[in-house]
Amino acid sequence: MIGSGILVMNKPQGFTSFDVIGKLRGILKMKRLGHTGTLDPMATGVLPVLIGTAARACDILPDETKAYRAAFQLGTVTDTQDSSGRVLETHPFDVSEEALRAVLPQFLGEIQQIPPMYSAVQVGGKRLYELAREGKEIERPARTVTVSELTLEAYDRASGRGTLAIDCGKGTYVRTILHDIGGVLGCGCMMTALERTKACGFTLADAHSFDEVQQAADAGVPESLVIPTDRLFLSLPAVTLNETQTRLYRNGVLLALSRLRALPEGTRFRIYSAEQSFLGLADADRAHNCLRIYKNL
């Protein structure tokens, strides 16, 4: 029986994030699975899946930065901002590599981004893609997103095709960045491929295919692919309890901070039992001199 933890998947093209969960439920014969962030069907790459009690961590992940490799085509604008959509405009292009590199700094740091109509963002209780499929386009408020790296990895001036490496924060639409770059250049741009190379601190080197998961399940060792839940929270300081404290903590008793030896600086901690089992997260309430359970994992 597989326990709790993280199974990092290399999502294939054509699958939604929910499709991945559905297929894994069939392979692993378990229902309690959750993913850490939606990937469009066109996208491939890193999709961490939370198993068992680790699914409780979906909304408290401390590292929500992601990295992508995105391919693009200048000269074309579509309704989805990628090559899966309906072409709205085509324009001639003759953009030098220097001119392309020159506009990239405009999309670094904290930027304002209008979510695309074909997205899962909710406006007035309805998802934008539902409205888009009805042929509607509504005004969307711009949102602040963070782009920490934007690097041109390859570019061919004659074809207008190239590849960008992008590091960004939660809620960033990579295809919108490319669409907006095309707007600044005056020729339009659409995304033609997207691979997520990093998410929640995991990379493609950690990721597995469906075939690998199926083989491990057939061999009776699916847990060999599962990463311990606490790896999600390595940025937080660790506290190890003694046997008595472990028993009290598991029973929901507040522990006095003054009785915890060598308590690190900080307000939130990874908590381990006397047997070095990861128990979850807890907060230091210094005003009341106690350790409060934040989330059992």
| Cα–Cα distance for residue pair 188/92, rounded to 1 Å | 9
Torsion sign over Cα 31, 35, 39, 44: negative
d(C-alpha 14, C-alpha 24), whole Å: 16
Could you confirm whether 40 is annotated as catalytic? Answer: yes
Half-sphere exposure of 173 (CA within 13 A, CB side): 25
What's the rounded Cα separation, in Å, for the pair 293 and 85?
47
Catalytic residue among 40, 167, 180, 206: 40
Beta bridge partners of residue 162, listed in sequence order: 72, 155
- 3-class SS letters over the chain: CCCCEEEEEEECCCCCHHHHHHHHHHHHCCCCEEECCCCCCCCEEEEEEEEHHHHHHCCCCCCCCEEEEEEEEECEEECCCECCCCEEEECCCCCCHHHHHHHHHHHCEEEEECCCCCCCCEECCEEHHHHHHCCCCCCCCCEEEEEEEEEEEEEECCCCEEEEEEEECCCCCHHHHHHHHHHHHCCCEEEEEEEEEEECCEEHHHCECHHHHHHHHHCCCHHHHCECHHHHHCCCCEEECCHHHHHHHHCCCCEEHHHCCCCCCCCEEEEECCCCCEEEEEEEECCCCEEEEEEEC
Residues with a catalytic annotation lie at: 40
